[in-house]
A and B are shown apart, each in its own frame.
Chain A
Amino acid sequence: MTDATLSSAASAAPVTERKSKSLLEADSHTRRRNAAETRFRFYGIGAVLIGLFFLVALLWAILSNGLSAFTQTSIPIDLPLDKAAIESAEKSIVKTSKYNAMIGAALEKKLADAHIETSMSEKDLMKILSSGAASTVRDFVLANPDKYGTTVPFQLLASSRVDGYLKGRVTRAALANDKNLDAAHLDIVDAMMKAGIIAKTFNWNFVFGADASDSRPEQAGIGVSMLGSLYMMLVVLVLSLPIGVAASIYLEEFAPKNRWTDIIEVNIANLAAVPSIVFGILGLAAFIQFAHLPQSAPIVGGLVLTLMTLPTIIISTRAALKAVPPSIRSAALGIGASKMQSVFHHVLPLAMPGILTGTIIGLAQALGETAPLLLIGMVGFIASNYPDGVADGFFSPNSAMPAQIYEWAKRADPAFYERAWGGIIILLVVLMSMNILAILLRRKFERRW
């Protein structure tokens, strides 16, 4: 560099700018730039607010549509169990119709006692009650023969239309084209409401009960499919935790850096991003077509979800192992422990909180997964019975929580939508508890080296 270029350059740019302005007043260019800065900041705030708005909208939709699933309308009816009537009912071919007649009579009496006048026939009147009322009574009667001759108080479910009317879901206008119920029924319901002989109570049956057929949404519950999900999660936990931890230990601590290890690593990263429906296809082809495992069984669902969850667990376990400082390993090796001993005695226990956190989050993901379950037949199946025993729980057909929700969403009667939203509330509460557990675990055991 020569002095000549230096001085000529020095005179070129800076000198023209030397007339320095006061710092105390912003020039117009700076004002424009600051305006752009403010705008940009508002875009950011706007984006965050949009995201939060969607969250609120989603939660509002869930709660406003789903909370009503947790109450159910029922009518307390005192039913005299006449031995002769029961015996004749049991002898007839359509047994429930005789029971219906008994219940109908009791209902009429109840209305008369409350001074509600109606010209409706007994059969027509029964439409206020769930069509499952007769079998509820019959099941009780068969289970309790010693109650013959006494009068037993029953809480009989109202039909889903009546329930919907009291919850504001069914309007009088909507009933115009409904063959099940008409405005006259609603007048009676209003009168019963006033007389206090119909009431909404907490719906334990929804939480713990079994699914019901298409025509009886008021009886549908999510309990059995919750059990199905539980069995699936047991399978996932028992398989994916040991396999995932073993695989991570190998990859993180023992694997030589070679092409084979590289392939495994790339493979795991890609598996984590494979669409879940593809795992469903794998489950269908490998476990059902090839290995002849029973369709719709939690064991198959559990196996599919295990394969899906493994990459997640491996990734988080490896992160936990990586976070254990190398000095711990050196310390163990330095006093003569073998590599295996240093890992199993020192590294693994220290990484355990991180591994458990990752596992819980993986399980939560698996619990909410639906698509693969559709392909292995866990939908379209009515989970109407609790499994008998543990083996049955794993191997006999069942539904799962998200599959049950999907099933309800696909049914024609809108009364099931309420159940679907309600099911979502239960699902989200379970997921939230799992995540909170994971956070608490992390907080409690978080270690700074």
Chain B
Amino acid sequence: MTQMPGTIKAAAMTDTKISARNVQVYYGDTHAIKDVNIEIGARAVTAFIGPSGCGKSTFLRCLNRMNDTIDICRVEGSIDLDGEDIYDSRVDPVQLRAKVGMVFQKPNPFPKSIYDNIAYGPRIHGLVRKKADLDEIVASSLQKAGLWNEVKDRLDGPGTGLSGGQQQRLCIARAIAVSPEVILMDEPCSALDPIATAKVEELIDELRENFTIVIVTHSMQQAARVSQRTAFFHMGNLVEIGDTQDIFTNPVDKRTQDYITGRFG
């Protein structure tokens, strides 16, 4: 029923980081993602928008194979990261996730100290040999997440003792500490108040210098504020993708227009 062209290239895109071809996702008998083709540019923020249940989060979770942890979930098609298919049987999802980090909807700090929360990733991936190196990674990650000044005096305090916004930035710092190339964010601000949201958005904007960021959001304003490119999903289909500016001012597809103008969703 969709007459969309297979891949939509946008003019402003720099080099491609991730490219997905003919991706299908099934949850048991449900066809959740239908034939999605997309290219995601490096060092930019790409936003996925669409109504609830449209498959944007599901697709995001395909990008670092988090869907593997769900028994009934099946993925077809191919997704390339820097030209390598991440669904290749030789790929270890553990190694993949070190390259493609993830931040979740609800802040989920581990019940450990702030320091240990950040140090968790570098430790399991064996990135450091000396305590001093670890200290440095923790400090720099917290600095990049803009949390350093707020927590530097209580690194031994529990991560769960922070406010919601701080917790989410802690989770972002935790993801940065592994030095990923891509960071996936699944509605990272939906559980936060407006002030905390503003801080996280500011942070995302700063991070795009060093990381490729894909963010799922249900807020069109947020997509407009933080992203360079926006993809609109509807009922498991990728309807339209383009520069954020274009999508919001001059959508090609009627469904996109209806969604953006608030007819549904």
Contact = CB atoms under 8 A, between A and B. Distances in A.
Q: Do A and B assemble together? A: yes
Interface string B138-153: 0111011010110000
A14 interface: yes
B84 A13 contact: no
A257 interface: no
B137 A23 contact: no
A12 B136 contact: yes
A33 B90 contact: no
A9 B139 contact: yes
Contacts of B95: 23, 26-27, 30
Interface in A1-47: 1, 5-6, 9-10, 12-14, 17-18, 20, 22-27, 29-30, 33-34
B239 interface: no
Interface in B46-95: 81-82, 84, 86, 88, 90-92, 94-95
Given A13-B179, A23-B95, A26-B95, A33 B139 contact: no
B112 interface: no
B206 A6 contact: yes
B86 A23 contact: yes
Contacts of A24: 84, 88, 90-91
Contacts of A26: 90, 92, 95
B198 to A, nearest CB: 15
A432 B181 CA distance: 58
B139 A20 contact: no
Contacts of B124: 33
Contacts of B148: 1, 5
A34 B181 contact: no
B126 A29 contact: yes
Contacts of A14: 176, 179, 210
A34 B176 CA distance: 23
A20 B181 contact: yes
Contacts of A20: 82, 99, 181
A9 B143 contact: yes
From B96, B136, B140, name the one whose CB has the most chain A CB atoms within 10 angstroms. B140
B31 interface: no
Nearest to A37: B94
A23 B92 CA distance: 7
Contact of B84 (A5, A23, A30): A23
Given A5-B148, A29-B126, A30-B94, 12 more contacts: A1-B143, A6-B143, A9-B143, A9-B144, A14-B179, A20-B82, A23-B84, A23-B92, A25-B90, A29-B125, A30-B92, A34-B92
